[in-house]
Amino acid sequence: MLADQQFLRIPGPSPIPPSVHLAMGNTMIGHRDVEAKSLIEQLRPRLKPIFGTKEEVLILTGSGTAALEMAVVNAVEPGDEVLILVTGSFGDRFAKICQAYGINVHRLDMAWGEAIDTRIVETYLQQNPTLKAVFATYCETSTGVLNPVKELANVVRHHSEALFIVDGVSCVGAVPVQMDNWGIDILVTGSQKAFMLPAGLAFAAASARAWKRIEENNTPRFYLDMKKYRDNINNNTTPFTPALSLLFGLKQVLQLLEKEGLENVFARHKLMMQMTRSAFKAHHINLLTTDESASPTVTAVKPTDFQVEELRKTLKNEFHLSIAGGQQQLKGKIFRIGHMGYCSPADVLQTISIIEMALIRIGKPLELGKGVEAAQKTYLS
Ligand SMILES: Cc1ncc(COP(=O)(O)O)c(C=O)c1O
């Protein structure tokens, strides 16, 4: 095997397109110089369609969790009551961040692998009128569920005064989102997933309603103060030194997304999800989620007759293919395949075919090529 060839099929970080690698190698510039301002000026309008908003998309240097924490410290105050919709480990992370800030957390936990049931949320909101915010995860990366964020936004708008805050880290840029039309108040994401960049940039956008709360919020904050980012981006700059190399890369990413067309990008992800799912179904290997709640960016597989970690080890050692395992309560029970960002149907075929060989290696009886064939047929149909 080629020593330096790696197949990265975890749900982030995701592979980086060669042209983005090249762009990130640009000569360094001064972050207060005219070149940096010109770069940010070019990025600003082009991020908005990805979020489905007319609002400014703030750019901060940090990982996705920085953007989650930014949403929390700017939107709610210690003692406020909030509802966290937990469908896996990243909903749980929102709860932990809120608890760290002394926020009064109510949780609605769904079984891991299931999407949020909007009717339960509706009832909960009617019974708890004092909630200041509702937090949800769009794609719950730990389970491969895509939560019904559009419907949830509608429920929150109609049944409470709460802000609706969404973690879109593992799907914004790969799935449709209409922040303004759907009524999302704060939407955040990170750079190392559908944005096809290394980790290091995070993004956040807020509705007019959210900005009013942010202005009135007295929670102590400095690096994560959204007002600072907004005031600076209005002058095409950032409050602190940005990860300039990633901004060079981001410009190229936006070019790639625009060239393919966002609708085509979304369709490609949906197709990769369908191909992946059809392959495992053809082998009668269980999937964690239903078709209806499956995410176009990550598929979780829950086998019953082979060891997940043995498969992952064989894939890594023999084929240099990385897939993810389960987290927390799903550790050792599922594996997760990322198909987002710089990933095509051809990559999916390769991944499935390698997994079939690895399954044979670890002793699972299997008809070679059956999953690949199912994925091919899904593609052609
Ligand atoms: C849905 C979701 N939220 C938040 C995060 C945290 O992002 P980071 O690891 O960049 O801090 C991740 C990362 O996997 C994620 O998938």
> Is residue 305 predicted with pLDDT exceeding 80?
yes
* Confidence check: pLDDT of 252 > 80: yes
Ligand 1: atom nearest CA of 192 is 10
- Going by C-alpha positions, the residue among 163, 142, 186, 178 that lies closest to residue 289 is 142
**CB of 189 sitting under 6 A from ligand 1:** no
Beta bridge partners of 104: 81
pLDDT for 3 equals 85
Contact 69 CB / ligand 1 (< 6 Å):
no
| Residue 2: pLDDT band with limits 50, 70, 90 | confident
Please say whether the beta carbons of 240 and 104 come within 8 A.
Answer: no
Q: What distance in Å separates the CA atoms of residue 361 and residue 364, rounded to the nearest whole number? A: 8
pLDDT digits (tens, 9 = 90+) for 20-41: 999 999 999 999 999 999 999 9
Res. 1: pLDDT tops 80: no
Nearest CA to ligand 1 atom 5: 64
* pLDDT recorded at residue 171: 98
Percent of the chain with pLDDT over 90: 99
Residue 345 preceded by cis peptide, ω within 30: no
- Dump pLDDT digits (tens) for 108-118: 999 999 999 99
Cβ–ligand 1 contact at 262 (below 6 Å): no
Please check the confidence at residue 130 and state whether its pLDDT lies above 90. yes
Q: Which atom of ligand 1 is nearest to the CA of 137?
A: 1
* pLDDT at residue number 61: 98
Is 60 close to ligand 1, i.e. is its CB under 6 Å away?
no
262-282 and 370-380 are packed helices; what angle lies between their axes, rounded to 10 degrees?
150
- Rounded to the nearest angstrom, the distance between the alpha carbon of 157 and the centre of ligand 1 is 26
Residue 87, ligand 1, Cβ within 6 A: no
How far does the centroid of ligand 1 lie from the alpha carbon of residue 90, in Å? 7
Question: Is residue 13 within 6 Å of ligand 1 at its C-beta?
Answer: no
Task: Please compute the mean of the pLDDT values over residues 261-286 and round it to a whole number.
Answer: 98
Structure tokens at 131: 């909630």
In angstroms, the CA 223 to CA 232 distance is: 13
| CB of 65 sitting under 6 A from ligand 1 | yes
The yes or no reply on domain 7-14+261-380 and CATH 3.90.1150.10 is: yes
- The stretch 263-288 carries a mean pLDDT of 98
In degrees, rounded to 5, the angle at the alpha carbon of residue 129 between the alpha carbons of residues 124 and 135 is 60
Mean pLDDT of 119-144: 98
In CATH terms, the fold of domain 18-258 is: Aspartate Aminotransferase; domain 2 (3.40.640)
> Region 291-303: what's the mean pLDDT?
98
- With contact defined as beta carbons under 8 Å apart, do 51 and 205 qualify? yes
Atom of ligand 1 nearest to the CA of 171: 1
Write the pLDDT tens digit of every residue in 170-212. 999 999 999 999 999 999 999 999 999 999 999 999 999 999 9
What is d(CA 79, CA 58) in angstroms, rounded to the nearest whole number? 27
Residue 248 alpha carbon to ligand 1 centre in Å: 22
Q: Look up residue 298 and give its amino acid.
A: V
CA distance 180 to 163: 13
Ligand 1 pocket test target in 10, 116, 149, 170 with most atoms within 8 Å of CB: 170
- As a whole number, the mean pLDDT across the chain is 98
- Opening angle at CA 334, ends 16 and 279, nearest 5: 70
Q: How many residues does the chain have?
A: 381
- Which residues of the chain are in CATH 3.90.1150.10 domains? 7-14+261-380
- How far does the centroid of ligand 1 lie from the alpha carbon of residue 379, in Å? 30
Confidence of residue 236 (pLDDT cuts 50, 70, 90): very high
Q: Which band of pLDDT confidence, cut at 50, 70 and 90, is reported for residue 157? A: very high
**Span 51-66, pLDDT tens digits:** 999 999 999 999 999 9
> What residue has token string 């609605």?
108
Residue 98 has pLDDT above 80, yes or no: yes
Q: 64 CB under 6 A from ligand 1?
A: yes
Ligand 1 close to Cβ of residue 167 (< 6 A): yes
User: How far apart, in whole angstroms, are the C-alpha atoms of residue 290 and residue 233?
Assistant: 41
Q: Is pLDDT larger for residue 235 or for residue 2?
A: 235
pLDDT for the residue 115: 98
Q: Quick check: CB of 142 below 6 Å from ligand 1?
A: no
- Alpha-carbon distance of 272 to 283, in angstroms, equals 17
> Mind spelling out the 3-state secondary structure of the chain?
CCCCCCEECCCCCCCCCHHHHHHHCCCCCCCCCHHHHHHHHHHHHHHHHHHCCCCCEEEEECCHHHHHHHHHHHHCCCCCEEEEEECCHHHHHHHHHHHHCCCEEEEEECCCCCCCCHHHHHHHHHHCCCCCEEEEECEECCCCEECCHHHHHHHHHHHCCCEEEEECCCCECCECCCHHHHCCCEEEEECCCCCCCCCCEEEEEECHHHHHHHHHCCCCCCCCCHHHHHHHHCCCCCCCCCCHHHHHHHHHHHHHHHHHCHHHHHHHHHHHHHHHHHHHHHCCCCECCCCCCECCCEEEECCCCCCHHHHHHHHHHHHCEECEECCHHHCCCCEEEECCCCCCHHHHHHHHHHHHHHHHHCCCCCCCCHHHHHHHHHHHC
CATH 3.40.640.10 in the chain, residue ranges: 18-258
Helix 226-233 / helix 208-216 crossing angle, nearest 10 deg: 120
Name the closest-CA residue to atom 2, ligand 1: 169
What are 347-375's pLDDT values in tens digits? 999 999 999 999 999 999 999 999 999 99
pLDDT value, residue 262: 98
